[in-house]
Structure 1
Amino acid sequence: MSRLLLTGPDAERLDRHALTEATDVATGMVDSVLYLTPTQERIPIIEERWDDVGRPLQLSVETIDGFVHSCHERAFGETIHTHMRSPTRNRLVELALEHLDKPANPLTPDGLPTRGLADRADELLTLMEFANLLDSSEIEARLCELGLDYQARVTAEFERSFSKMRADYATHHDGPPLSIRGERYGRVVETQEPFTTLRPSIDVVVIGGFTLYSPSNGWSSNVWSKRGRR
Protein backbone atom coordinates (compact mmCIF):
# COMPACT_ATOMS: atom_id res chain seq x y z
CA MET A 1 0.00 0.00 0.00
CA SER A 2 1.32 3.44 -0.92
CA ARG A 3 0.21 6.90 0.17
CA LEU A 4 0.25 10.27 -1.56
CA LEU A 5 -0.24 13.53 0.36
CA LEU A 6 -1.28 16.59 -1.65
CA THR A 7 -1.28 20.04 -0.05
CA GLY A 8 -1.90 23.55 -1.34
CA PRO A 9 -4.17 26.61 -1.19
CA ASP A 10 -6.54 25.57 -4.00
CA ALA A 11 -8.94 22.83 -2.82
CA GLU A 12 -10.51 22.28 -6.22
CA ARG A 13 -7.12 21.85 -7.88
CA LEU A 14 -6.06 19.36 -5.19
CA ASP A 15 -9.27 17.38 -5.72
CA ARG A 16 -8.75 17.21 -9.46
CA HIS A 17 -5.11 16.17 -9.02
CA ALA A 18 -6.05 13.44 -6.54
CA LEU A 19 -8.85 12.13 -8.74
CA THR A 20 -6.56 12.05 -11.75
CA GLU A 21 -3.99 10.09 -9.73
CA ALA A 22 -6.78 7.70 -8.70
CA THR A 23 -7.64 6.90 -12.32
CA ASP A 24 -4.03 5.84 -12.92
CA VAL A 25 -4.22 3.26 -10.12
CA ALA A 26 -7.83 2.02 -10.15
CA THR A 27 -8.85 -0.96 -12.26
CA GLY A 28 -11.78 0.85 -13.86
CA MET A 29 -14.38 -1.43 -12.27
CA VAL A 30 -17.56 -0.13 -10.63
CA ASP A 31 -16.84 1.63 -7.29
CA SER A 32 -13.09 1.11 -7.65
CA VAL A 33 -12.41 4.66 -6.40
CA LEU A 34 -13.73 5.74 -3.00
CA TYR A 35 -13.70 9.45 -2.10
CA LEU A 36 -14.28 10.18 1.61
CA THR A 37 -15.75 13.62 2.30
CA PRO A 38 -16.77 15.31 5.56
CA THR A 39 -20.30 16.27 4.47
CA GLN A 40 -23.12 15.08 2.24
CA GLU A 41 -23.18 18.51 0.58
CA ARG A 42 -19.81 17.91 -1.10
CA ILE A 43 -20.88 14.67 -2.79
CA PRO A 44 -22.34 16.24 -5.98
CA ILE A 45 -19.35 18.62 -6.18
CA ILE A 46 -16.88 15.72 -6.18
CA GLU A 47 -19.01 13.75 -8.65
CA GLU A 48 -18.97 16.71 -11.02
CA ARG A 49 -15.18 17.01 -10.77
CA TRP A 50 -14.85 13.30 -11.41
CA ASP A 51 -16.80 13.60 -14.68
CA ASP A 52 -13.73 15.26 -16.22
CA VAL A 53 -11.38 12.37 -15.45
CA GLY A 54 -13.29 9.10 -15.14
CA ARG A 55 -16.46 7.13 -15.75
CA PRO A 56 -19.36 7.85 -13.35
CA LEU A 57 -19.79 4.28 -12.11
CA GLN A 58 -16.11 4.06 -11.17
CA LEU A 59 -16.50 6.53 -8.31
CA SER A 60 -18.22 6.21 -4.95
CA VAL A 61 -18.36 9.34 -2.76
CA GLU A 62 -19.22 8.76 0.89
CA THR A 63 -18.96 10.46 4.24
CA ILE A 64 -16.71 8.74 6.76
CA ASP A 65 -19.79 7.83 8.80
CA GLY A 66 -21.33 6.25 5.70
CA PHE A 67 -18.17 4.30 4.95
CA VAL A 68 -17.86 2.94 8.49
CA HIS A 69 -21.55 2.10 8.69
CA SER A 70 -21.44 0.18 5.40
CA CYS A 71 -18.44 -1.82 6.66
CA HIS A 72 -20.24 -2.44 9.96
CA GLU A 73 -23.36 -3.69 8.20
CA ARG A 74 -21.38 -6.07 5.99
CA ALA A 75 -19.23 -7.36 8.84
CA PHE A 76 -21.97 -7.80 11.44
CA GLY A 77 -25.24 -7.85 9.48
CA GLU A 78 -26.74 -4.94 11.43
CA THR A 79 -28.70 -2.40 9.41
CA ILE A 80 -29.28 1.29 10.04
CA HIS A 81 -32.38 0.33 12.03
CA THR A 82 -30.08 -0.77 14.87
CA HIS A 83 -28.38 2.66 15.02
CA MET A 84 -29.37 5.10 17.74
CA ARG A 85 -30.61 8.22 15.96
CA SER A 86 -29.53 11.72 16.97
CA PRO A 87 -32.89 12.80 18.49
CA THR A 88 -32.90 9.74 20.74
CA ARG A 89 -29.30 10.28 21.82
CA ASN A 90 -29.92 13.99 22.42
CA ARG A 91 -32.88 13.19 24.67
CA LEU A 92 -30.88 10.58 26.61
CA VAL A 93 -28.09 13.12 27.16
CA GLU A 94 -30.64 15.62 28.50
CA LEU A 95 -32.12 13.00 30.83
CA ALA A 96 -28.64 11.99 32.00
CA LEU A 97 -27.95 15.62 32.93
CA GLU A 98 -31.33 15.98 34.67
CA HIS A 99 -30.67 12.85 36.76
CA LEU A 100 -27.01 13.56 37.48
CA ASP A 101 -27.86 14.78 40.99
CA LYS A 102 -24.25 15.65 41.81
CA PRO A 103 -24.17 19.25 43.10
CA ALA A 104 -20.37 19.39 42.92
CA ASN A 105 -20.35 18.26 39.29
CA PRO A 106 -20.24 21.27 36.92
CA LEU A 107 -22.40 19.37 34.45
CA THR A 108 -25.29 19.28 36.91
CA PRO A 109 -27.84 21.80 35.54
CA ASP A 110 -29.65 24.45 37.55
CA GLY A 111 -33.10 23.27 36.57
CA LEU A 112 -33.57 21.82 33.10
CA PRO A 113 -30.38 21.52 31.02
CA THR A 114 -29.92 24.12 28.30
CA ARG A 115 -29.28 23.08 24.71
CA GLY A 116 -25.75 24.43 25.00
CA LEU A 117 -24.99 22.36 28.09
CA ALA A 118 -26.44 19.25 26.47
CA ASP A 119 -24.32 19.80 23.34
CA ARG A 120 -21.12 20.22 25.37
CA ALA A 121 -21.92 17.14 27.46
CA ASP A 122 -22.58 15.10 24.31
CA GLU A 123 -19.28 16.28 22.80
CA LEU A 124 -17.47 15.18 25.96
CA LEU A 125 -19.12 11.77 25.83
CA THR A 126 -18.33 11.43 22.12
CA LEU A 127 -14.64 12.18 22.74
CA MET A 128 -14.55 9.41 25.33
CA GLU A 129 -16.28 6.98 22.96
CA PHE A 130 -13.79 7.67 20.18
CA ALA A 131 -10.94 7.20 22.61
CA ASN A 132 -12.42 3.70 23.03
CA LEU A 133 -13.42 4.50 26.63
CA LEU A 134 -16.93 3.08 26.66
CA ASP A 135 -17.77 2.88 30.35
CA SER A 136 -17.21 4.96 33.46
CA SER A 137 -14.51 2.71 34.94
CA GLU A 138 -12.42 2.91 31.75
CA ILE A 139 -12.88 6.69 31.60
CA GLU A 140 -11.90 7.16 35.24
CA ALA A 141 -8.88 4.87 35.02
CA ARG A 142 -7.52 6.46 31.85
CA LEU A 143 -7.99 10.08 32.90
CA CYS A 144 -6.49 9.38 36.32
CA GLU A 145 -3.46 7.87 34.57
CA LEU A 146 -3.06 11.25 32.88
CA GLY A 147 -3.27 13.06 36.21
CA LEU A 148 -6.75 14.41 35.48
CA ASP A 149 -8.46 13.18 38.63
CA TYR A 150 -11.09 15.92 38.77
CA GLN A 151 -12.01 15.54 35.09
CA ALA A 152 -12.07 11.78 35.58
CA ARG A 153 -14.69 12.03 38.33
CA VAL A 154 -16.83 14.57 36.48
CA THR A 155 -16.84 12.62 33.23
CA ALA A 156 -17.33 9.20 34.83
CA GLU A 157 -20.31 10.45 36.84
CA PHE A 158 -21.95 11.77 33.69
CA GLU A 159 -21.23 8.56 31.75
CA ARG A 160 -22.83 6.48 34.50
CA SER A 161 -25.94 8.64 34.36
CA PHE A 162 -26.07 8.36 30.55
CA SER A 163 -25.64 4.57 30.68
CA LYS A 164 -28.49 4.29 33.17
CA MET A 165 -30.79 6.37 30.93
CA ARG A 166 -29.77 4.27 27.95
CA ALA A 167 -30.51 1.03 29.82
CA ASP A 168 -33.89 2.37 30.95
CA TYR A 169 -34.70 3.31 27.35
CA ALA A 170 -33.69 -0.15 26.10
CA THR A 171 -36.14 -1.86 28.46
CA HIS A 172 -39.02 0.08 26.87
CA HIS A 173 -37.77 -0.04 23.28
CA ASP A 174 -39.23 -2.63 20.93
CA GLY A 175 -36.68 -4.23 18.62
CA PRO A 176 -32.94 -4.97 18.75
CA PRO A 177 -30.56 -2.99 20.98
CA LEU A 178 -29.47 0.33 19.48
CA SER A 179 -25.76 0.97 19.01
CA ILE A 180 -24.02 4.33 19.19
CA ARG A 181 -21.46 5.66 16.70
CA GLY A 182 -18.42 5.05 18.89
CA GLU A 183 -19.37 1.42 19.38
CA ARG A 184 -19.81 0.86 15.64
CA TYR A 185 -16.48 2.53 14.84
CA GLY A 186 -14.79 0.42 17.50
CA ARG A 187 -16.25 -2.82 16.18
CA VAL A 188 -15.12 -2.00 12.65
CA VAL A 189 -11.61 -1.15 13.88
CA GLU A 190 -11.36 -4.40 15.79
CA THR A 191 -12.94 -6.76 13.26
CA GLN A 192 -10.65 -9.35 11.75
CA GLU A 193 -12.58 -9.18 8.49
CA PRO A 194 -10.25 -7.55 5.91
CA PHE A 195 -11.65 -4.55 4.07
CA THR A 196 -10.67 -6.15 0.82
CA THR A 197 -13.51 -8.54 1.67
CA LEU A 198 -15.94 -5.98 3.09
CA ARG A 199 -15.44 -3.57 0.18
CA PRO A 200 -13.70 -5.69 -2.48
CA SER A 201 -14.26 -3.32 -5.39
CA ILE A 202 -12.18 -0.47 -3.92
CA ASP A 203 -8.68 0.04 -5.31
CA VAL A 204 -8.03 3.65 -4.28
CA VAL A 205 -9.20 5.82 -1.36
CA VAL A 206 -9.09 9.61 -1.57
CA ILE A 207 -9.66 11.60 1.64
CA GLY A 208 -10.37 15.27 0.98
CA GLY A 209 -12.19 18.39 2.07
CA PHE A 210 -11.55 18.12 5.79
CA THR A 211 -10.89 21.32 7.74
CA LEU A 212 -11.42 19.67 11.15
CA TYR A 213 -10.01 16.22 11.75
CA SER A 214 -12.06 14.66 14.54
CA PRO A 215 -11.26 11.50 16.50
CA SER A 216 -13.84 9.59 14.45
CA ASN A 217 -12.10 10.65 11.22
CA GLY A 218 -8.79 9.46 12.64
CA TRP A 219 -10.23 6.07 13.49
CA SER A 220 -11.62 5.41 10.05
CA SER A 221 -8.56 6.53 8.11
CA ASN A 222 -6.37 4.47 10.46
CA VAL A 223 -8.62 1.48 9.82
CA TRP A 224 -8.12 1.77 6.09
CA SER A 225 -4.35 2.27 6.37
CA LYS A 226 -4.04 -0.90 8.44
CA ARG A 227 -6.23 -3.13 6.30
CA GLY A 228 -6.74 -1.53 2.94
CA ARG A 229 -5.00 -0.85 -0.29
CA ARG A 230 -3.71 2.40 -1.74
Structure 2
Amino acid sequence: MRSRPRIGITTRLELETRRFYLGRDYSEAIFAAGGLPVHLPLIDRSEYISEVFSELDGLLLPGSDTDPDPVRYGEDPHPRLKKVIPEKDQTDLLALEAAELSGIPVLGICFGMQILNVARGGSLVQDIGSQIDGSLKHDQGLPLERNSHRIRISESGLLRTIAGADRTEVPFSVNSHHHQSVRNVGRELRPVAWASDGVIEAIEDVRDGRFVLGVQWHPELSWKTDPLSAAIFSEFVKRCSTDQQ
Protein backbone atom coordinates (compact mmCIF):
# COMPACT_ATOMS: atom_id res chain seq x y z
CA MET A 1 0.00 0.00 0.00
CA ARG A 2 1.22 3.49 -0.82
CA SER A 3 2.22 5.59 2.18
CA ARG A 4 0.51 8.74 0.85
CA PRO A 5 -2.82 8.89 -1.00
CA ARG A 6 -2.48 10.12 -4.58
CA ILE A 7 -4.60 13.18 -5.17
CA GLY A 8 -5.15 14.40 -8.70
CA ILE A 9 -5.23 18.16 -9.28
CA THR A 10 -6.39 19.42 -12.67
CA THR A 11 -4.23 22.14 -14.20
CA ARG A 12 -4.96 25.37 -16.05
CA LEU A 13 -4.25 26.31 -19.66
CA GLU A 14 -2.45 29.46 -20.81
CA LEU A 15 -4.16 30.24 -24.11
CA GLU A 16 -1.34 32.29 -25.62
CA THR A 17 1.34 29.62 -25.18
CA ARG A 18 -0.85 26.49 -24.80
CA ARG A 19 1.10 25.65 -21.64
CA PHE A 20 -0.42 23.87 -18.66
CA TYR A 21 0.21 25.47 -15.27
CA LEU A 22 -0.92 25.35 -11.63
CA GLY A 23 -0.27 27.54 -8.59
CA ARG A 24 2.13 25.84 -6.19
CA ASP A 25 -0.06 26.45 -3.12
CA TYR A 26 -2.43 23.58 -3.95
CA SER A 27 0.34 20.99 -4.09
CA GLU A 28 2.06 22.35 -0.99
CA ALA A 29 -1.16 22.19 1.02
CA ILE A 30 -1.90 18.62 -0.10
CA PHE A 31 1.63 17.42 0.65
CA ALA A 32 1.70 19.13 4.05
CA ALA A 33 -1.56 17.38 4.93
CA GLY A 34 -0.08 13.98 4.05
CA GLY A 35 -1.14 13.55 0.44
CA LEU A 36 0.82 13.11 -2.78
CA PRO A 37 -0.22 15.73 -5.37
CA VAL A 38 -0.51 14.50 -8.96
CA HIS A 39 -0.93 17.18 -11.62
CA LEU A 40 -3.45 16.30 -14.33
CA PRO A 41 -3.03 17.95 -17.74
CA LEU A 42 -6.16 19.14 -19.52
CA ILE A 43 -6.62 16.16 -21.81
CA ASP A 44 -10.37 16.13 -22.31
CA ARG A 45 -10.68 12.53 -23.46
CA SER A 46 -12.54 9.91 -21.47
CA GLU A 47 -9.97 7.16 -22.12
CA TYR A 48 -7.23 9.28 -20.53
CA ILE A 49 -9.37 10.18 -17.53
CA SER A 50 -10.43 6.57 -17.01
CA GLU A 51 -6.87 5.28 -17.02
CA VAL A 52 -5.37 7.95 -14.78
CA PHE A 53 -8.19 7.71 -12.24
CA SER A 54 -7.47 4.05 -11.69
CA GLU A 55 -4.36 5.26 -9.82
CA LEU A 56 -5.93 8.12 -7.82
CA ASP A 57 -7.35 8.23 -4.30
CA GLY A 58 -8.83 11.72 -4.42
CA LEU A 59 -9.59 14.68 -6.70
CA LEU A 60 -8.93 18.37 -6.13
CA LEU A 61 -10.47 20.83 -8.58
CA PRO A 62 -8.59 24.13 -8.15
CA GLY A 63 -9.50 27.72 -8.86
CA SER A 64 -9.04 29.23 -12.29
CA ASP A 65 -8.77 32.61 -13.97
CA THR A 66 -11.56 31.45 -16.31
CA ASP A 67 -15.32 31.02 -15.90
CA PRO A 68 -17.38 27.91 -16.62
CA ASP A 69 -19.14 28.22 -19.97
CA PRO A 70 -22.71 29.41 -19.22
CA VAL A 71 -23.95 27.35 -22.15
CA ARG A 72 -23.40 24.33 -19.90
CA TYR A 73 -26.14 25.54 -17.55
CA GLY A 74 -28.45 26.92 -20.22
CA GLU A 75 -27.64 30.63 -20.13
CA ASP A 76 -26.28 33.23 -22.52
CA PRO A 77 -23.01 34.97 -21.57
CA HIS A 78 -23.15 37.96 -19.23
CA PRO A 79 -21.20 41.05 -20.42
CA ARG A 80 -18.74 40.57 -17.54
CA LEU A 81 -18.10 36.90 -18.22
CA LYS A 82 -14.37 36.17 -18.18
CA LYS A 83 -12.60 33.96 -20.69
CA VAL A 84 -13.87 30.42 -21.17
CA ILE A 85 -11.58 27.48 -21.97
CA PRO A 86 -13.55 24.45 -23.20
CA GLU A 87 -10.67 22.03 -22.45
CA LYS A 88 -10.68 23.17 -18.82
CA ASP A 89 -14.43 22.73 -18.40
CA GLN A 90 -14.55 19.37 -20.15
CA THR A 91 -11.54 17.87 -18.35
CA ASP A 92 -12.93 18.90 -14.96
CA LEU A 93 -16.36 17.50 -15.84
CA LEU A 94 -14.87 14.19 -16.97
CA ALA A 95 -12.78 14.09 -13.80
CA LEU A 96 -15.88 14.60 -11.67
CA GLU A 97 -17.65 11.83 -13.55
CA ALA A 98 -14.73 9.47 -12.92
CA ALA A 99 -14.57 10.45 -9.25
CA GLU A 100 -18.27 9.74 -8.89
CA LEU A 101 -17.91 6.30 -10.46
CA SER A 102 -14.99 5.37 -8.22
CA GLY A 103 -16.39 7.04 -5.10
CA ILE A 104 -13.16 8.87 -4.25
CA PRO A 105 -13.27 12.11 -2.20
CA VAL A 106 -13.59 15.41 -4.07
CA LEU A 107 -12.59 18.92 -2.99
CA GLY A 108 -13.55 21.81 -5.26
CA ILE A 109 -12.05 25.26 -4.69
CA CYS A 110 -13.56 28.45 -6.19
CA PHE A 111 -13.91 27.54 -9.91
CA GLY A 112 -13.79 23.92 -8.72
CA MET A 113 -16.87 24.45 -6.56
CA GLN A 114 -18.66 26.17 -9.43
CA ILE A 115 -17.91 23.44 -11.99
CA LEU A 116 -18.98 20.81 -9.42
CA ASN A 117 -22.34 22.55 -9.17
CA VAL A 118 -22.65 22.79 -12.96
CA ALA A 119 -21.78 19.10 -13.28
CA ARG A 120 -24.73 18.29 -11.01
CA GLY A 121 -27.14 20.36 -13.12
CA GLY A 122 -26.92 23.58 -11.09
CA SER A 123 -26.45 27.15 -12.31
CA LEU A 124 -24.26 30.14 -11.45
CA VAL A 125 -24.54 33.84 -10.79
CA GLN A 126 -22.37 35.06 -13.67
CA ASP A 127 -21.36 38.35 -12.04
CA ILE A 128 -22.08 38.97 -8.36
CA GLY A 129 -21.49 42.73 -8.43
CA SER A 130 -24.07 43.42 -11.13
CA GLN A 131 -26.56 40.63 -10.40
CA ILE A 132 -26.88 40.66 -6.59
CA ASP A 133 -28.08 43.92 -5.02
CA GLY A 134 -26.09 44.98 -1.97
CA SER A 135 -23.41 42.36 -2.51
CA LEU A 136 -20.08 42.41 -0.72
CA LYS A 137 -16.77 42.88 -2.49
CA HIS A 138 -15.93 39.26 -3.33
CA ASP A 139 -12.73 39.94 -5.29
CA GLN A 140 -10.48 41.35 -2.58
CA GLY A 141 -7.16 41.67 -4.39
CA LEU A 142 -3.86 41.65 -2.46
CA PRO A 143 -2.77 40.27 -0.08
CA LEU A 144 -4.27 37.05 -1.37
CA GLU A 145 -4.25 35.14 1.91
CA ARG A 146 -6.02 37.81 3.96
CA ASN A 147 -9.43 36.81 5.31
CA SER A 148 -11.69 39.61 4.09
CA HIS A 149 -15.26 38.69 5.06
CA ARG A 150 -17.18 36.47 7.44
CA ILE A 151 -19.25 33.41 6.64
CA ARG A 152 -21.97 31.50 8.43
CA ILE A 153 -21.61 27.71 8.41
CA SER A 154 -24.56 25.33 8.65
CA GLU A 155 -25.10 23.72 12.04
CA SER A 156 -24.81 20.21 10.56
CA GLY A 157 -23.00 18.40 7.78
CA LEU A 158 -19.47 17.71 6.60
CA LEU A 159 -18.17 21.29 6.68
CA ARG A 160 -19.62 21.80 10.15
CA THR A 161 -17.81 18.68 11.36
CA ILE A 162 -14.56 19.98 9.88
CA ALA A 163 -15.06 23.44 11.38
CA GLY A 164 -15.96 22.01 14.79
CA ALA A 165 -19.38 20.87 15.94
CA ASP A 166 -18.96 22.83 19.17
CA ARG A 167 -18.19 26.13 17.41
CA THR A 168 -21.65 26.99 16.10
CA GLU A 169 -21.56 30.46 17.66
CA VAL A 170 -18.07 31.31 16.41
CA PRO A 171 -17.91 33.43 13.22
CA PHE A 172 -15.46 32.27 10.57
CA SER A 173 -13.69 34.54 8.10
CA VAL A 174 -12.39 33.63 4.64
CA ASN A 175 -10.45 35.17 1.78
CA SER A 176 -12.39 36.02 -1.38
CA HIS A 177 -11.27 35.93 -5.02
CA HIS A 178 -14.29 35.39 -7.24
CA HIS A 179 -16.94 37.26 -9.21
CA GLN A 180 -19.27 34.29 -9.76
CA SER A 181 -21.15 32.08 -7.31
CA VAL A 182 -23.64 29.24 -7.10
CA ARG A 183 -27.22 30.25 -7.93
CA ASN A 184 -29.37 27.10 -8.16
CA VAL A 185 -27.78 24.21 -6.27
CA GLY A 186 -27.26 21.02 -8.27
CA ARG A 187 -28.69 17.59 -7.55
CA GLU A 188 -27.57 15.76 -4.41
CA LEU A 189 -25.82 18.92 -3.20
CA ARG A 190 -26.75 21.34 -0.44
CA PRO A 191 -25.46 24.79 0.55
CA VAL A 192 -23.63 24.76 3.87
CA ALA A 193 -22.02 28.22 4.17
CA TRP A 194 -23.10 31.75 3.28
CA ALA A 195 -21.69 35.27 3.24
CA SER A 196 -23.74 38.04 4.85
CA ASP A 197 -25.07 39.09 1.42
CA GLY A 198 -26.52 35.62 0.86
CA VAL A 199 -23.83 34.40 -1.54
CA ILE A 200 -23.33 30.65 -1.16
CA GLU A 201 -19.79 30.03 0.08
CA ALA A 202 -19.78 26.21 0.31
CA ILE A 203 -21.71 23.19 -0.95
CA GLU A 204 -21.48 19.51 -0.10
CA ASP A 205 -22.93 16.14 -1.09
CA VAL A 206 -26.11 15.16 0.74
CA ARG A 207 -25.30 11.44 0.71
CA ASP A 208 -24.01 9.86 3.90
CA GLY A 209 -20.39 8.76 3.77
CA ARG A 210 -19.44 10.77 0.68
CA PHE A 211 -16.73 13.44 0.86
CA VAL A 212 -17.69 15.88 -1.88
CA LEU A 213 -17.08 19.45 -0.74
CA GLY A 214 -16.89 22.72 -2.62
CA VAL A 215 -15.70 25.98 -1.05
CA GLN A 216 -15.79 29.37 -2.73
CA TRP A 217 -12.73 30.71 -0.92
CA HIS A 218 -9.11 29.60 -1.33
CA PRO A 219 -7.94 27.49 1.65
CA GLU A 220 -4.68 26.73 -0.18
CA LEU A 221 -3.68 30.38 0.29
CA SER A 222 -4.28 30.47 4.04
CA TRP A 223 -3.79 26.95 5.43
CA LYS A 224 -0.57 27.94 7.21
CA THR A 225 -2.32 30.53 9.38
CA ASP A 226 -6.05 29.77 9.22
CA PRO A 227 -7.31 26.77 11.26
CA LEU A 228 -10.41 26.18 9.11
CA SER A 229 -8.39 26.08 5.89
CA ALA A 230 -5.86 23.70 7.43
CA ALA A 231 -8.66 21.48 8.75
CA ILE A 232 -10.24 21.21 5.30
CA PHE A 233 -7.04 19.84 3.76
CA SER A 234 -6.37 17.61 6.75
CA GLU A 235 -9.80 15.97 6.64
CA PHE A 236 -9.76 15.70 2.84
CA VAL A 237 -6.42 13.89 2.77
CA LYS A 238 -7.48 11.75 5.73
CA ARG A 239 -10.57 10.61 3.85
CA CYS A 240 -8.52 9.94 0.72
CA SER A 241 -6.19 7.79 2.81
CA THR A 242 -9.05 5.95 4.54
CA ASP A 243 -10.87 5.20 1.29
CA GLN A 244 -7.57 3.98 -0.20
CA GLN A 245 -7.33 1.12 2.29
User: Is the shorter-chain TM-score for this pair beyond 0.5, marking a shared fold?
Assistant: no
For the pair shown, the structure with the greater C-alpha radius of gyration is: 1
- Structure richer in helix, relative to its length: 1
- Structure richer in strand, relative to its length: 2
Q: Normalising by structure 2, report the TM-score.
A: 0.30
Larger RCO: 1 or 2 (CA < 8 Å, sep 6+): 1
